[in-house]
Structure 1
Amino acid sequence: MLKSIIAKRDGAVVGSAGSAERTPSVRWALAALSLSMLLSSLGTSIANVGLPTLAQAFNASFQEVQWVVLAYLLAITTLIVSVGRLGDITGRKRLLLAGILLFTVASSLCGIAPTLWLLIAARAAQGLGAAVMMALTMAFVGETVAKAKTGSAMGLLGTMSAMGTALGPSLGGVLIAGLGWPAIFFVNVPLGILTFLLAHRYLPVDRRGPKTDSAGFDHAGTLLLALTLAAYALAMTIRHHDGRGSFGPLNMALLLAAALGVGLFVRAQARAASPLIRLAMFRDPGLSASLAMSALVSTVMMATLVVGPFYLSRALGLNAALVGLVLSVGPLAAALAGVPAGRMADRFGAQRMTIVGLIAIAAGSFVLSMVPATPGIPGYIAPIVVITVGYALFMTANNTAVMTDIRPDQRGVISGMLSLSRNLGLITGASVMGAVFALASATTDITTARPEAVATGMRFTFAVAAILIVVALAIAVGTYRRTWRNRAPAPGAALQASKKNSG
């Protein structure tokens, strides 16, 4: 009895009951998870606004400084599923703490890097830490809150993810203008230390189940998946230095290697005793649809990060600090929308809210594809707010739909797959949407393009983005209809049931 009282007093969050979910320790645990999600998402986007500054500081081309963003994404993309599975096997808390520590130390190294290539190497290490944080954050939700509150918790995490992605350019612009480019990396250090302390104190202790050695981890599958994803990511990011970022023979060879890698990985997973990813998961149309939609939406969100700073600075003539202030409106709207979105997902159903979020993103993208430069700042802010709110709503509902009913021993790997789909979208968006923007601007160097050319490039890029969201919307509607048909009673079933009850 005394032990149970002490456990309740200390706020044991494992197996959260209805009464446990209101304890302060659960709130602090959610604070640790929220900060982990915020930091890992912020790391993706905060460097984008610094690319022009970094190009000047290191006397490098735009293609070279792009690797500051791409090295981070590459590390996350290649390893996120593997670290999620590793957390399922070895214990999520200790792995998450290691990831937070690595992220914080690497952020310090980024800020003091004397050369561009050392900065890129530190960003890759930072990406590994972020992979752990992204993969395990959502997996902890099932251990910290009751099932009925999953949507609200995912709403909080979705808000932090959206804020991290959208806040990066605005915060980065302010920091660069006031303190210089190292500040965009140093800002992670105090936040990382706080996250580590909260996670260490309040997250549930790893359960000591039956002894599981490394034989339970699929080493061959992990290596194959990492090489396959690396080949795809490099195919999408390596560009000829002709200013247009053209696709060459090396890109095609890497894409073919990635396709071959997918085949080998699927074959290895079918034969493995303890596979990294159970292929049977993909027979669930809901999971497959959620992963596809996540990738498409993330592609569009990265387009806003690639295009936005250049449009605001070149086409509208704003300085770095004002660019940051303009872009800070979107995160504020996302922050206000995220938690209510989680409650709406709990109340009205995650699939319906997924569709509503996608409609908002599509509407905002269509408006940006048609807006002339004359409305100035308000003409950009209004559709961006709609897109950002839609993104927060979509992320919340989509993650809730996937994470609500999965087995505890699969939470890490499924959470990793959700994050993988998001980061595949981001890495595709950074390269493909960046290339679309450059081609539509009809310029060899986007950093010195004429304002009219940049405005044209922005409109065309968001026209492509709108089309991608319409595809995601079609997937969402198809999945919702299929689910509705499966739940609907067969014709005459209700009549037969009433006759049986009256009899």
Structure 2
Amino acid sequence: MTETPPLTPAEFAHRYRIPILLVILVGVFMAVLDNNIVAIALPTITSDFNVPLGQSQWIATAYIITIIATVLIFGTLSPVLGKARLYICGMALFVASSAACGLAHTLPLLVLSRIVQGIGAAMLMSISMAIIMQVFPLHERGKALGYVTATVGLGLIIGPALGGVLVEALGWPYVFFVNVPIGIVMLIPAVRYLKLEETGSKIGKLDSPGIALFIALMAGVALFVNELANPPVNMTSLSAYAVFTLAALAAFVLRERSARNPLMDLSLFSDRRFVLPSASLVLYFVATFILIIILPFYFEGVMGWKPLQVGLVAFVMPVAMIVSAPVFGRTYDKRPSKNYPAIGVLGMGGGFFLCGYGFATQSVLVIVIALILAGLFRSIFQGPNTIEIMGSLPAEKAGIASSLLVILQDLGILLGISAGSILLVLQLNALGYTGAVLDAGAGMLPPIFANAMYAGGLCCVVAAMVTYKR
């Protein structure tokens, strides 16, 4: 009797690509969830630790800054460490640090635990897309990435609502403890099915100066936009942050050009196939988070709604994205087109302009329709645009490309949050108002929110122009 030869790693990964996808989706979900679930717990944490809000905000910002600063490092190391090993270690670190966050009894310990949690999230996110691109054949990648898009939307939906329930029912530590059982359960299939064909590539000496300069650059960007978004702006501090950021950028570029084994291959940014969809992705996230940051202020400040009512409206766009993403993913697989990203982000811009009109006229119906349209067109944009970015680079650079996707996404989020705040505050200051946004009154606020949405719509139009293929 002839024995069946064992499956090769590539054959094994292809046969079990669905369980592998499930493992990846859970990791993405946890990382996205922790990007926004903490926001709802901040007031309670601030009160419990008896610290100013300016200090407690580092609980949120330390996480995202750490991801931006380290995700490229893990993408660079993935060919050496192995994508499967890196992902499993990342999930284990994320689970352990989540438990440490919940057990932290001082603010410094909590921030430190969040930094470690951000490192675990960066390990997960740095090679998630690369793993999907590796295990799924070309004709199934659109659908697979559509599920990733839907998972991101699910994380955005559940985060605030789940955070509120956990804080009210069990206390703020449970916004972190919730990750522990999920992560432990998913480690079992991760170890069982993540047996990938690894290239076994080697890199020379790690670019330690490049790593230090990149971390400094990201810290400078975060400090600069944070200062700009919190008026009254201290011009001395703002100028110092700007000089520091530009100096770090110049030093990083010079270092990477001369390094034998650079952290970041700057030649990527000479390839239009990579640069244009990447720029479009940043603008897309800037526009998205302008909306996300101002929507609650509009409904509470203008319409007088309660947070629960606002949360229901905030569900509309992510739900539309979740429902439509797999459908458009299958459409892309059957009828691929390089202009799906341009169509998607342009349609999203149309939804944003319509939302601005709804804000100005105080029409809830128009706003809801606009959010549905924006969610549908987000699905058309995000999956195909990700494929364009990942497909523009050779297979051996998949880990780097996956890491850069995370950096671009989080940079867009950071800039979008800051832009939303700046747009509101500058307009109010121009009208002579310097108080809290919610106290400005329904008579003053509608056109201000409308203008902010028009700015988001313009970001989408520019993104469509950038990514359009003639």
Partner of 1:80: 71
Partner of 1:47: 38
Of 78-87 and 219-228, more deviation after overlay is shown by 219-228
Does residue 14 (structure 1) correspond to residue 10 (structure 2)? The answer is: yes
Determine if contact 2:358/2:364 at 8 Å carries over to the other structure. no
Distance 2:341 2:225 in 1: 28
Q: CA RMSD in A?
A: 2.8
Of all paired residues, the percent bearing the same amino acid is: 26
Q: 1:231 to 1:332 in 2, by over 3 A?
A: same
Partner of 1:143: 134
Partner of 2:396: 409
Partner of 2:409: 422
Partner of 1:227: 216
Does residue 28 (structure 1) correspond to residue 16 (structure 2)? The answer is: no
Q: 1:272 to 1:103 in 2, by over 3 A?
A: same
Q: 1:226 to 1:432 in 2, by over 3 A?
A: same
Q: TM-score, normalised by structure 1?
A: 0.84
Distance 1:253 1:85 in 2: 31
**How far did residue 474 of structure 1 move?**
1.3
Partner of 1:268: 255
**How far did residue 123 of structure 1 move?**
2.2
**How far did residue 347 of structure 1 move?**
3.1
Partner of 1:499: none
Determine if contact 1:170/1:326 at 8 Å carries over to the other structure. no
Counterpart selection for 1:121 from 112, 116, 137: 112
Partner of 1:236: 225
- 1:351 partner SS: coil
Determine if contact 2:343/2:464 at 8 Å carries over to the other structure. no
Partner of 1:490: none
Partner of 1:187: 178
Q: Which amino acid aligns with 2:420?
A: M
**How far did residue 447 of structure 1 move?**
6.0
- 2:343 partner SS: helix
Distance 2:421 2:299 in 1: 16
Distance 1:370 1:428 in 2: 24
Counterpart selection for 2:241 from 230, 248, 254: 254
**How far did residue 224 of structure 1 move?**
1.7
**How far did residue 179 of structure 1 move?**
4.0
1:264-302, CA deviations, whole angstroms, 9 ceiling, x for partnerless residues? 222222222222222222221120011111111111222
Determine if contact 1:216/1:274 at 8 Å carries over to the other structure. yes
Partner of 2:125: 134
**How far did residue 321 of structure 1 move?**
3.4
**How far did residue 399 of structure 1 move?**
0.6
Partner of 2:207: 218
- 1:114 partner SS: coil
Q: Which amino acid aligns with 1:36?
A: G
Q: Which amino acid aligns with 1:275?
A: P
**How far did residue 456 of structure 1 move?**
4.7
1:366-388, CA deviations, whole angstroms, 9 ceiling, x for partnerless residues? 12222247756544433223223
Partner of 1:358: 345
- 1:14 partner SS: helix
Counterpart selection for 1:95 from 69, 81, 86: 86
Q: 1:190 to 1:161 in 2, by over 3 A?
A: same
Q: 1:3 to 1:73 in 2, by over 3 A?
A: farther
**How far did residue 4 of structure 1 move?**
5.2
Determine if contact 1:80/1:132 at 8 Å carries over to the other structure. yes
Distance 1:260 1:196 in 2: 42
Determine if contact 1:244/1:444 at 8 Å carries over to the other structure. no
Counterpart selection for 2:293 from 265, 287, 306: 306
Q: Which amino acid aligns with 2:401?
A: I
1:181-221, CA deviations, whole angstroms, 9 ceiling, x for partnerless residues? 333333222222233222222112463736x3x63532222
Partner of 1:472: 463
Of 172-181 and 76-85, more deviation after overlay is shown by 172-181
Determine if contact 1:108/1:185 at 8 Å carries over to the other structure. yes
Distance 2:6 2:460 in 1: 51
**How far did residue 156 of structure 1 move?**
1.6
Distance 1:27 1:89 in 2: 25
**How far did residue 107 of structure 1 move?**
2.2
Q: Which amino acid aligns with 2:371?
A: I
Determine if contact 2:9/2:196 at 8 Å carries over to the other structure. no
- 2:263 partner SS: coil
Distance 1:335 1:361 in 2: 15
Determine if contact 2:80/2:200 at 8 Å carries over to the other structure. no
How many pairs are equivalent?
466
Q: Which amino acid aligns with 1:109?
A: A
Q: Which amino acid aligns with 2:10?
A: V
Q: 1:452 to 1:102 in 2, by over 3 A?
A: farther
Determine if contact 1:177/1:320 at 8 Å carries over to the other structure. no
Determine if contact 2:319/2:375 at 8 Å carries over to the other structure. no
Determine if contact 2:342/2:465 at 8 Å carries over to the other structure. no
Gaps of 5+ in 2: none
Determine if contact 1:158/1:392 at 8 Å carries over to the other structure. yes
1:99-133, CA deviations, whole angstroms, 9 ceiling, x for partnerless residues? 11222222223334334443333222222211111
Counterpart selection for 2:195 from 204, 210, 223: 204
Distance 1:216 1:328 in 2: 47
